[in-house]
Amino acid sequence: MDPPLETIETACTHCGAEKRTVLWSGTEHEYSNTTEAVFDFVRCAVCGVVRLDPRPAVTELSRIYPPDYYAYNLTGGDDQSIDRSLTNRLKMRMYQRRVLNQTSRLGKSGSIRMLDVGCGDGRLLDWYKASSVGPRLTTHGIEMSATAAAVARKRGHHVVTGRFEVDEQLQPGTFDLILASHVIEHVDDPLRFAMRAAELLAPGGLFVVGTPNWNSFDARVFRGHWGGNHFPRHWTLYDEASIGDLARRVDLSLERVIYQPNPIFWIWTCHSWLTARFPRRSWPDRVFPPVGIFEPSALSLVLQSGFTLIDLLQRALFGKTASMSAELRKAPA
């Protein structure tokens, strides 16, 4: 039997306060080779930031992110072609629309230096390069997995290996657009993470932070089974108020928050809820595959399309979803 996962207790990463209240608890349900421990998400009584406490030690990263972790294996190996499945084509167009909007907000002509934080094996960078603004992009990335980073470099992107918040290889003040799509919630020091982004931005540049929104209808209903928990890999959770506070702490301005559909959270929610109620049954893994959902299939298309519609309805009814994109601007020169 594997030894217990090493965990540490932490104070609030934003304000240092230790007083907190427990929001909900839950367990890993996506991978069978990490840990069976129960984890708590707690809310800081002073600044309101939500954190996992206790959380895994940094030395356990290779264990909670196993070699088959989904983000490391999205491009389909060495195939240099853009993914051709209908599900991935729809996703690609969505991400391309987003990057077109983001680059247009820079108000800049000519080349654009883009950095994708946690770029994995480079699939999103591939999609950005294939967009209409692609010829203007110089695509850079940073990735914790050396294997995934090597794949991204092979695909033509400028990628360094390491943890963004402690990186010293990337050059300060040189990036027009920094994208961190669902990364900041994974790191042990999100404040330092945001500070590093502020250092690397050129004047007037944008730092776009995609992250779960814990203050959403589905999160409050499903609590410990909510897919945005991603136990034990999500360590810090935000809402619009706390992400605005984060921006102020690193001298960036929060320009807007966009609430986006995220069908994967719904699939993980259903899988967690069902596996807890039917612990000795395998059918929840087949109906709501937590990792297999990233592979092109008819089931993936149906589930992701259906839950996208549910999220659009949720946004229409409540004005928000469980996934938000915050745009943080560095002051012009």
Question: Rounded distance, CA 300 to CA 213, Å?
Answer: 23
- Residue-wise pLDDT tens digits, 1-12: 478 899 999 999
**Beta-ladder partners of 50:** 43, 237
Per-domain residue ranges for the chain?
7-329
Residue 80: Cβ within 10 Å count? 11
Q: What is the mean predicted confidence (pLDDT) over 272-279?
A: 96
pLDDT of the residue at 76: 52
pLDDT of the residue at 78: 47
Q: What is the mean predicted confidence (pLDDT) over 93-104?
A: 93
Question: Rounded distance, CA 333 to CA 313, Å?
Answer: 41
pLDDT of the residue at 333: 82
Question: Rounded distance, CA 301 to CA 296, Å?
Answer: 8
Residue 85 has pLDDT above 80, yes or no: no
* Sign of torsion over alpha carbons 62, 66, 68, 72: negative
CA distances from 135 to 27, 201, 205, 213 (A): 44, 21, 19, 33
**Beta-ladder partners of 179:** 116, 208
**Beta-ladder partners of 321:** none
Write down the residue that tokens 């306060």 correspond to.
17
1.20.1630.10, 3.40.50.150, 3.40.50.1000, 3.30.1780.10: CATH of 7-329:
3.40.50.150
pLDDT of the residue at 72: 75
pTM for the structure as a whole = 0.90
Phi, psi of 159 (to 5 degrees): -125, 135
What lies within 8 Å, CB to CB, of 220 at 6+ separation is: none
Return the beta strands (E) in 158-286 as ranges.
Answer: 158-161, 175-181, 201-212, 236-237, 253-259
What value does the CA radius of gyration of the chain take, rounded to a whole number of Å?
A: 19
pLDDT of the residue at 2: 73
